[in-house]
Amino acid sequence: MQTLKHIGIIALNTFRESIRDKILYNIGFLAIAMTLFSIVLGEWSVFDRAYVIKSTTLSVMGLSGLLISIFVGISLVQKEIQRRTVLTLLSKPISRASFIVGKYFGLLAVVAVHLTLLTAIYYVMLFLTGSAPTLSLLTAIYLIFCEMAIVIAVALLFSSFSSTVLSALFTLGVYFAGHLSDQLLEQVRFATRMGELNGTSSMVFQKAAEVIHAIFPGLYRYNVTSYVVHGVALPDMYVVWNTVYAVGYIGVFLAIASWWFSRRDFL
């Protein structure tokens, strides 16, 4: 219970500190502006207005959530280290694992509030433009939240042992690998079937693609915009299993981050 109390206190302080961050406001205002601009895009587009507004807004949610997760997430630990406040904090009966987990939940709450605000604006905008707001859109937004939950854990992992710039680059690398790993594996298999790869090269490329696909989190699973916008039903239990999938990766990343952070010497 004492550990949970420490995590809650750190999470609350992290949330308050992040809310005051200028970067967060800049990203938030940009996201709101892009969401409103989607109305103009819908009017100009040759495609259905509702489709453009919905797909553009969901993309803006994902992008703004990514920016917050990376640029705010990697600074959570680094700020404490650079200001040397981490020494004061860890001198108290607080474990380093509690520190990492508390930071994680604090930023996760910030992303949740950000997406909730955009969702409210999104639905009001759809209602005013007659673009048929549906509850199924909440499924796509929830999966975006799950994706950002993984990205935050990745950002904290790298920030626990690396510099700010490298942490951002590493996190972006994991993000893109997570979105492209499935396509990479499919392309390698397709090239093998078509005879473009054969023998040793085929085996090497396929094994490399399988390793990348297995190690990196499959973030492509959380991009269901095309399903939701076109009204196509997701497979049964899709949301449940991908929630479990996200929780598993988050647990692994936070465990590694806590272990690595516990080995650091700040003196």
Given the structure tokens 């803006």, which residue do they identify?
60
Each domain of the chain, given as residue ranges in start order, spans 2-262
State how far the Cα of 152 lies from the Cα of 109, in Å rounded to an integer: 11
129-164 pLDDT, tens digit each = 776 667 778 888 999 999 999 999 999 898 888 888
Predicted TM-score of the model (pTM): 0.88
Residues in the chain, overall count: 267
Q: What is the pLDDT of residues 166-194, one digit of tens each?
A: 888 999 999 998 888 888 777 777 666 66
pLDDT at residue 9 is higher than 90:
no
Report the half-sphere exposure of 55 (CA within 13 A, side-chain side): 15
Q: Which runs of E-coded beta strand occur in the chain?
A: none
For residue 35, what are its two tokens?
């969401």
Query: What residue has token string 């930023």?
Result: 107
